[in-house]
Amino acid sequence: MKQSFVFLGIIITLAVTGCAALHSRAAANAGTLDIYFLDMAGGASTLIVTPLGESVLIDTGSLEPKHRDADRIERACKHAGLKHIDCLVTTHFDVDHYGGILELSKRIPIKRFIDSDTPPVRYEKRQQFKKLTPLYEQATGGKTKLLAAGEDIPLKNTAKGPQIKLHCVASQKRIEGFAGDIDVPAEGFDIQKPDTSNNAHSIALVLTYGDFKFFAGGDITWNVEHHLAHPVNRIGKVDLYQVTHHGLDRSNNTILLKALSPTVAVAMNGPRKGIQPRTFKDLNALPSLKALYTIHYNTQYGDEGNPPPDFIANKTNPKKGEYIKASINPKKQTFTLQIGPEGKQQEYQVQP
């Protein structure tokens, strides 16, 4: 009798394992590109999962509160069926973009590390960076690759079907196709005071999948953005826009917003951080914009900084930690957005 139960247990185990494997293969063959905009409470972390199951994580949120952001990234990875992260991109060294890296690396293996520089020496005098820099070095083992403007992050493709490409258009305050000084006055340039912070050094990425295009610019600021759009639109129109710098007005140059002309924008804001009123107004004035989503309801700005409730991931409970997910289907030439794993999907057309 005991042997019969053992045999039955083996059969059940094999059946469950087989179903899981079939589910995993089905997900990989579904042909969708998935993008998760994670709740870092005003920080940033964006998870990209390709149709072949390859993963790129852009930024890791904050260290504090303890493990919160690593917990949320790990949760999204589980929802995406990931066993590891193929590539981690740290856009720049601000505490709300790379603070969660060490704790995350303890939860899930990370194969490759990409950044825009080593943590700046001048920041080491600030207590928060004195704490975070050693954690970053411990997590990466000092094995990071510098990503320059004009370079690609290699991704797997199949011989058939639409190709996927992740391309860097700005890094280290340098822009692909522009050799000049971004802070020098020029005709048609509404120049702002030079940004000496690390924000202007952010990595800015363009992800394409067939005709679909997505722009994620980290925390690049006004002067960098200008040269991405003027006098030449170096990016072109996009379908999906990760609102730069959490929706702060020191970024989101009006010229760039018009050049991008996104169909949908997603702001990784916080309860008291972004979207600021000028950026909110400029986004909503774009003829192309069909929807603006935010991670949080911003308590500072009311109707001047918040979309309708159905487009806010954490509208009533700022500690819920819900994400926004985009899924791109190149066969239908559409993409959908939803809030959380069970949220209602809203469908949008990919621009021709």
Q: Which residue has the tokens 């760039």?
A: 256
Confidence category of residue 130, pLDDT binned at 50, 70, 90: confident
> Which has the higher per-residue pLDDT, 118 or 185?
185
Strand intervals (E) in 43-179: 46-49, 55-58, 85-90, 110-115, 145-146, 152-153, 164-171, 174-175
C-beta separation of 72 from 61 below 8 A: yes
CA-wise closest residue to 216 among 330, 42, 58 = 58
DSSP string, 230-280: SSS-SS---SEEE-GGGG-TTS--HHHHHHH--SEEEE--BTTB---HHHH
Averaged confidence pLDDT in the chain:
91
Task: Indicate the residue type of 349.
Answer: Q
User: CB atoms < 10 A from the CB of 299, how many?
Assistant: 12
Burial of 328 (C-beta count, 10 Å sphere; 0-12/13-18/19+): buried
Dist CA 61 CA 79 (whole Å): 18
- The predicted pLDDT at position 120 comes to 59
3-state secondary structure of 72: helix
- The predicted pLDDT at position 4 comes to 44
Q: Is the pLDDT of residue 291 over 80?
A: yes
Averaged pLDDT for residues 57-62: 98
pLDDT in tens, 187-218: 888 899 999 999 999 999 999 999 999 999 99
pLDDT in tens, 160-172: 889 999 999 999 9
Q: Which residue has the tokens 């170096």?
A: 234
- The CA-atom distances, in angstroms, between 317 and each of 38, 302, 309, 339 are 15, 16, 12, 14
CATH 3.60.15.10 is held by the domain 32-349: yes
